Amino acid sequence: MSSTAGQVIKCKAAVAWEAGKPLVIEEVEVAPPQKMEVRLKILFTSLCHTDVYFWEAKAQDSVFPRILGHEAAGIVESVGEGVMELMPSDHVLPVFTGECGDCAHCKSEESNMCSLLRINTDRGVMINDEKPRFSIKGKPIYHFVGTSTFSEYTVVHAGCVAKINPLAPLDKVCVLSCGISTGFGATLNVAKPKKGSSVAIFGLGAIGLAAAEGARLAGASRVIGVDLNPSRFEEAKRFGVTEFVNPKDHNKPVQEVIAEMTDGGVDRSVECTGNIDAMISAFECVHDGWGVAVLVGVPHKDAIFKTPPMNFLNERTLKGTFFGNYKPRSDLPSVVEMYMNKELEVEKFITHEVPFAEINKAFELMLKGEGLRCIIRME
């Protein structure tokens, strides 16, 4: 049993006090885990665009003061009442969504959208007692998507923690707890391209490149990357992208360009931008009779998807996905094993690394659009 089990831990955390202002490294108190909770020592975390989106708080409400962060890896420090499958010293990935194991979604082989633990960006407290586990001199500091990994220690619901191979390098596999698995799984688990097939990837950021990596692993012969930023094209070749289309270079809808390139359309498409026009293009560019389009990007809440119904009647399929259709506790350990077996190449997603004290540099890099993933070393 950990010597700190059952006690309040004082540690450093990067606190977002208000929208858009630099994070401040503070000493915070982290309470012990309660029923069905675990306290984790975070060793490595990385910055995902979702953290920046809610830090900026331009398009939605956000709770402050808050500890952001949700893509990370660490070690279990202590466990709360009722936690059976985790114990101190386990190597784990905390995940922004969960798997309670009891709800209809968790019991379904087709769904990973746990009724109890699916992502809730508004909740700043723990489910057990609706209180945060973080505080500074008695003042509550709120959680973010149940993880809050920009802290040396954090408290997470046990259903949002995936136990992984202790030999896996945590500074690499931390990126598998969100974006990379989302794009990778969207292709492998949902689009399911056949060997020798054609796949169009809309958006060549980290998630889109992970989707391309999935297409490469599935054996697709043509992977067409679609992006408005031509500077991304060269890098995308390393992820299996074979051809590129910049919609700005054409005077016709990009779906028509792709249909001409592929004799009627691609076999599969994966949309990773959240732009509603890109979503429509991704659907309309797949071949009639068998084409499947998968939507990954999150659109504006008021966006409307419009397409002629004949596109469906002509046997095109439109699918959505959440976290690549992976169940966190059941499936993520196997994704880590794919990395360990050298099937999935994670290192090429990691373009920068900074110490925890310089976490704001990671935000600067993402705001400038530089790099894919920046690893933040907590020690």
Indicate which residue of 160, 174, 178, 272 is catalytic.
Answer: 178
Indicate the DSSP class of residue 338. H
Using CA atoms, how far residue 221 sits from 11, 233, 289, 294, 377, in Å, is: 50, 17, 20, 19, 38
- Is 105 catalytic? The answer is no
Indicate which residue of 39, 91, 105, 118 is catalytic.
Answer: 118
Using CA atoms, how far residue 353 sits from 217, 243, 371, in Å, is: 27, 30, 11
Cβ atoms 228, 202 nearer than 8 A: no
Indicate which residue of 45, 50, 154, 321 is catalytic.
Answer: 50
Q: Closest by alpha carbon to 362, among 44, 29, 28? A: 44
- Is 103 catalytic? The answer is yes
- Is 268 catalytic? The answer is no
Dist. CA 172–CA 160, nearest whole Å: 19
Cβ atoms 82, 303 nearer than 8 A: no
Cβ atoms 228, 208 nearer than 8 A: no
Indicate which residue of 26, 29, 106, 147 is catalytic.
Answer: 106
- Is 100 catalytic? The answer is yes
- Is 48 catalytic? The answer is yes
Indicate which residue of 91, 100, 133, 374 is catalytic.
Answer: 100
Dist. CA 27–CA 10, nearest whole Å: 6
Indicate which residue of 26, 29, 66, 70 is catalytic.
Answer: 70
- Is 114 catalytic? The answer is yes
Which secondary structure element, helix H or strand E, spans residue 56, and what is its range?
Answer: helix 49-56
Indicate which residue of 143, 157, 287, 373 is catalytic.
Answer: 373
Helix axes 359-367, 49-56, angle to 10 degrees: 90
Using CA atoms, how far residue 145 sits from 62, 107, 166, 257, 278, in Å, is: 11, 23, 25, 39, 27
Indicate which residue of 26, 29, 37, 71 is catalytic.
Answer: 71
- Is 222 catalytic? The answer is no
- Is 373 catalytic? The answer is yes
Indicate which residue of 49, 123, 222, 377 is catalytic.
Answer: 49
Indicate which residue of 4, 11, 56, 103 is catalytic.
Answer: 103
Residue 139 burial by CB count (10 A; 0-12/13-18/19+): exposed, middle or buried? exposed
Cβ atoms 316, 286 nearer than 8 A: yes
Cβ atoms 375, 44 nearer than 8 A: yes
- Is 174 catalytic? The answer is no
Indicate which residue of 114, 160, 272, 285 is catalytic.
Answer: 114
Indicate which residue of 48, 174, 272, 374 is catalytic.
Answer: 48
- Residues facing residue 244 across a β-bridge: 225
Q: Which residues are catalytic?
A: 48-50, 70-71, 100, 103, 106, 114, 118, 178, 373
